[in-house]
Amino acid sequence: MAPPGRFEGKAALVLGVANKRSIAWAIAKRLADEGAKLAFTYQGERIEKGVRDLAESVSSPLVTACDVRSDADVERVFAEAAETFDGGLDLLVHSVAFAAAEDLEGRFVDTPRDRFWTALDVSAYSLVSCAHAAEPLMAARGGGSIVTMTYLGGERAVPHYNVMGVAKATLDASVRYLAWDLGQKDIRVNAISAGPVRTLAARSIAGFPTMEAIVEERAPLHRHIGADDVGSAAAYLLSDEARNVTGTILYVDSGYHAMGM
């Protein structure tokens, strides 16, 4: 018999799976392989079947729709998770972001007000609302761990990343303040800054192949990263092995973030 995994007996809620190439799915698969029970959310009917099929492959007890811009919807989802997992939750994976495609093509200065706030609402405030809803469920288990996905475009100007970079900067700051607020209940909050990964979301970024090429050329390890690399890093941050790691950003980008040129 195989030894118990790191997440045996743990309950996790995963937001942001779109398809089998999603970073969120790579993380979820890793958690499931190590014993976690997983619940999933999806956004919209277009991807529902795909998410349900993936969830079924890891025997998920809960798959539910979630519009992170609705406080009522977020509250409902966490209530369903609490009912599914006997009143508690150990792990939360937040892999949710959105910006209008036209705002990832032109100039940042041309971003209209309404789409600016949409990007920040979905990509950054959603972490705050989900952490707020997760807090009592994780406190009931004596603590927990939250991981979100960020990108270097929140720290430096990346051409065409535009308003999403501003949203990621907001997300990064939110991670630090949430870590402070929730640390007294032994709830950790961290982020992973991944290099370019070929996902559904990446296709909407103009010049994505150029981003990949530059990272391969200039990163110290001179290679691309895959979703599985992010899954491994997230598993560490979510596990008890990282019990004293919170409020931090873990870079999984072949070292590209360390370079000046």
Task: Identify the H or E element spanning 149.
Answer: strand 144-150
13, 240, 244: which is closest to 126 by C-alpha?
13
| 172's tokens | 């990064």
Place of tokens 């990282």: 242
91, 6 in Cβ contact below 8 A?
Answer: no
Cβ-Cβ contacts under 8 Å for 23 (sequence gap 6 or more): 16, 95, 149, 194, 197, 199, 227, 230, 231
Alpha-carbon distance of 233 to 135, in angstroms, equals 23
Return the active site residues.
151, 161
